[in-house]
Amino acid sequence: MNSRSFTRFIALLLAGCVTFPAQADDPVMAEKSSVQAAFLYNFALFTEWPSLPENAFSFCVLADDHLLEALASLKNKQMKDRPILIRRIESSNQARNCQILFVGASAHQSVKDIAAQIGTDPVLLVADEDSAAMPEVVILLREQQNRISFKINRTEASKRSMTFSSKLLRLATQVY
């Protein structure tokens, strides 16, 4: 990974709401979703999977329509030489076909079921941090003082044979 890619990553994180405009009714929620979409896109850039499907790179969302709208701008882009597919999933048994799966706050109670369905499949499980502990999640997004940061659970990532760029690990507020 070169310094140009890293600079682009930082720029996208800082300007996520400009890069990924959402069409939500609530401008605050649209901005938050746009920034989250930028984070997910960049997590994909700086994560290595043991293998990827030939046909598409899937960003999946469970229970977060605002984020789904924000991710829609990625439909005509490529990730790791594959077209990006944006998918809404309705249940944990659809999770195995995702490369990145974001679980919205209203579905946090399903995280254990999702993790059980995924098993050791290389799915990057991402969620918003809330008061409940979710040890199965690989990356937790956290909003604090109008900023979004993230924590990385390398133990869960290694169970799924995924690794992260050292540059991404340095940006995390916590790696465990």
pTM for the structure as a whole: 0.84
Q: What confidence tens digit (pLDDT) does each residue in 142-155 have?
A: 988 889 999 999 99
Would you identify the CATH topology of the domain 3-175? Rossmann fold (3.40.50)
Residue type at 128? D
Q: What confidence tens digit (pLDDT) does each residue in 81-105 have?
A: 999 999 999 988 899 999 999 999 8
Q: pLDDT-based confidence at 172, cuts 50/70/90?
A: very high
Q: What token pair was written down for 65?
A: 């329509």
Q: What confidence tens digit (pLDDT) does each residue in 38-72 have?
A: 999 999 999 999 999 999 999 999 999 999 999 99
